[in-house]
Amino acid sequence: MKLTRREKYQSATGSKRAIVYVILIFFLFGSDLSAQTYRLTFNSVPLSDALVQVSGQLGLKVAFDSKKLGSIIITKEVSGETPEEVISSLLRNTGFEFRIKYDRYLITEKGKEEENTGYQLMGCVSDRSTEEHLPYATVILYNKNLFASASENGSFCFRNIDTGNVHLQVSYIGYNSLDTTIFMNGHQANFNLRLSRRIESMDTIVVKATRLEMVDLRNDVDFATTLTLHG
């Protein structure tokens, strides 16, 4: 069936209007559709564990005092469209806040100014090949007699060090220990410490045993048989 000129015009006009409506909807709601909202729920969870979970899901690097934050138990739902909004929601009413330093989210006590009377050394211990974090690695400032156990995400922090030159030792089961001296140019420093897996090798083992020479015994001949042992 052929369309009249008027019907063709109405059809073309309707198509153009539909295209305009689609464009308007895209501009009005396109930004909302592309935005992603993060939602996480925690029920009687230590704040330190919640931070580890958030850092894993959002791909963040965080540094905090695991002992202090581990004593704070939270039950809440946190949400946000950005990592900053999520962490702010998580830390709300906990007495802690965050600040971004050295490409990490540093969690500190709210309202407490950082002391500049000493040096601060923080960082993360990880696998050299896979970059996987090594939880609870041992970190020692040998010449300061200071000891720390890294958190579950491999982070650690030393505060109020009286000098910027420290003898650092890092160890983890199954890895070669790291023994080095660090010279800090400023009052704060952040290091990624990577350990190599320890490859165990064994000397060749030679097993020696006495060989028994076997001989055939014939029942039809009456004679004595001698077995000779060779070492």
Which of the four pLDDT bands, split at 50, 70 and 90, describes residue 109? confident
All CATH 3.55.50.30 domain ranges in the chain, comma separated: 33-113
All CATH 2.60.40.1120 domain ranges in the chain, comma separated: 116-204
Strand partners for 230: 211
Q: In what order do the strands lie in the sheet with 138-141?
A: 146-149, 138-141, 165-171, 178-183
Q: Which residue has the higher pLDDT, 190 or 195?
A: 195
Read off the pLDDT of each residue in 3-23 and give the average, rounded to a whole number.
49
Please state which of the ranges 119-133, 177-191, 217-231 shows the lowest mean pLDDT.
217-231
* 136-139-141 Cα angle (round to 5): 160
**The pLDDT value given to residue 170:** 94
Q: Which residue has the higher pLDDT, 145 or 8?
A: 145
Confirm if 157 and 122 have CB atoms less than 8 A apart.
yes
Q: Does domain 116-204 have CATH number 2.60.40.1120?
A: yes
Return the number of other C-beta atoms located less than 10 Å from residue 149's C-beta. 12
Rounded to an integer, what distance in angstroms lies between the CA atom of residue 120 and that of residue 187? 6
Q: Which residue has the higher pLDDT, 208 or 139?
A: 139
H or E element, residue 63: strand 62-63
Which of the four pLDDT bands, split at 50, 70 and 90, describes residue 127? very high
Rounded to an integer, what distance in angstroms lies between the CA atom of residue 2 and that of residue 74? 72
Q: Which residue has the higher pLDDT, 86 or 9?
A: 86
Confirm if 18 and 26 have CB atoms less than 8 A apart.
no
Which of the four pLDDT bands, split at 50, 70 and 90, describes residue 58? confident
Q: Which residue has the higher pLDDT, 125 or 208?
A: 125
33-113 CATH fold: Phage tail protein beta-alpha-beta fold (3.55.50)
Q: Which residue has the higher pLDDT, 1 or 105?
A: 105
Closest CA to 193 of 211, 212, 180, 208: 180
β strands within 110-201, DSSP E: 119-127, 138-141, 146-149, 155-161, 165-171, 178-183, 188-195
End-to-end Cα spacing for the chain: 107
Q: Which residue has the higher pLDDT, 48 or 214?
A: 48
Confirm if 178 and 161 have CB atoms less than 8 A apart.
no
**The pLDDT value given to residue 67:** 78
Residue with tokens 């989210």: 105
